[in-house]
Amino acid sequence: MTTEYLDTGAASLARAAELLRAGETVAFPTETVYGLGADARSAAAVARIFEAKGRPQDNPLIVHIAAWEELGPLVLEIPPTAQALAEAYWPGPLTMIFRRSEVIPASVSGGLDTLAVRLPSHPVARELIRRCGFPVAAPSANRSGSPSPTTAAHVAADLDGRIAAVIDGGPCSVGVESTVVDLTGGVPHLLRPGGVTAEMIRAVAGACEVDDAVTHRLRDGARAASPGMKYKHYAPQARVILLRGSSEARAAYLREHAQEGDGALCFDGETSLPVPTMTYGREDDPAAQAAHVFACLRQADERGFRTLYVSCPSEEGMGLAVYNRLLRAAAFEVIELG
């Protein structure tokens, strides 16, 4: 198929909504990453998402809505904690998991009886969903396994010819996918860290448990609370290795171990590394790191790096989201430099 490239004007959004209404897939910007949308009520439309991405059928999708009132019909119950979190952080980079109603086909949730829902803050995403008048299922608009797209060019590189259209809304501001929190148990359970931090959830809900899989490899045979966490993820072609330690220790390590063709993803101001570098933000600025990390992973492949050594971010606040993505890109390979 020929992919249509759309701007964010009214005529383009009308065209995108028309395609979605016809059961096609359309990529659109959100504040986190670009999403690949389809009509969440239609199993046939949603099947096109899985096919275009090459996504495993058991990896559930997030359903996007444009207003709080649209949540009720999609879920069996809205716990009071969810209402409080929505008041605090919706619209925004927070996805909440509820018990799924019959309105949404089971295939959207990869067969689970729960449903992930998000109300994005990006004006283009909201206007598009509002024009559709139905909930829009949307995973990140990348080929399954590759880094999430934060520009329309990233979407095109992965999905051109496989989807009906892409809306170009410029770069995404947050840069990593939404926080995913499960509210179907008692205490909010954080499955994927993002722009709404565990501390921010605790401030509203009183408590928040962080799933083990956020920072640890799943043990063989263990069941993933979030199926997405069991797959290799966010990975460029280059081998990625995290280096934890001081800038001086990293420079010394690379002087000894780096080979021709290797590169580094480092903090702003880390100038003494003996390999070609890209920077992804100041060491104390996780929001900047989040905004740049996926574009840098893609750039590593454009530059043909064989191994990409990454300055390991802090796990504090939003740093946990950046660390979680890099850890998966690195298939959990971290070198401790003391």
Give the C-alpha distances (Å, rounded to integers) separating 122 from 106, 118, 119, 194, 286.
27, 12, 9, 16, 21
Partner touching 60 among ligand TXA, Mg ion, none, CB below 5 to 8 Å by kind: ligand TXA
Structure tokens at 67: 């207003």
Interface with ligand TXA in residues 229-258 (CB under 6 A): none
Q: Smallest distance from the beta carbon of 36 to Mg ion, in angstroms?
A: 9
According to CB under 6 A, which one of 3, 12, 42, 226 is a site residue for ligand TXA? 226
The contact mask relative to ligand TXA for 174-193 (x = CB under 6 A, - = no) is ---xx-x----------xx-
Q: Smallest distance from the beta carbon of 152 to ligand TXA, in angstroms?
A: 13
Between residues 33 and 240, which has the closer beta carbon with respect to ligand TXA? 33
Interface with ligand TXA in residues 105-144 (CB under 6 A): 109, 112, 114-116, 118, 120, 138-140
Between residues 130 and 230, which has the closer beta carbon with respect to Mg ion? 230
SS3 assignment, position 49: helix
Burial class (CB in 10 A: 0-12, 13-18, 19+), 220: exposed
Check residue 48 and give left, alpha or beta (phi > 0: left; psi -120 to 50: alpha): alpha
Q: Is 75 in the site for ligand TXA (CB under 6 A)?
A: no
The DSSP result for 199-225, as a single string, is: HHHHHHHS--EEPGGGTSPPPTTPPPS
Interface with ligand TXA in residues 12-41 (CB under 6 A): 30, 32-33, 35
Between residues 81 and 178, which has the closer beta carbon with respect to ligand TXA? 178
Burial class (CB in 10 A: 0-12, 13-18, 19+), 216: exposed
Sequence-separated (6 or more) residues with CB below 8 Å from residue 264: 250, 254, 258, 270, 273, 275, 276, 277, 278, 308, 309, 310, 311
Between residues 135 and 194, which has the closer beta carbon with respect to Mg ion? 194
Between residues 204 and 224, which has the closer beta carbon with respect to Mg ion? 224
Name the one residue in this structure whose structure tokens are 């979605």: 20
Nearest to 138, CA basis, from 231, 53, 14, 72 = 53
Between residues 243 and 322, which has the closer beta carbon with respect to ligand TXA? 322
Binding residues for ligand TXA (CB under 6 A): 30, 32-33, 35, 59-62, 95, 97, 109, 112, 114-116, 118, 120, 138-140, 177-178, 180, 191-192, 226-228
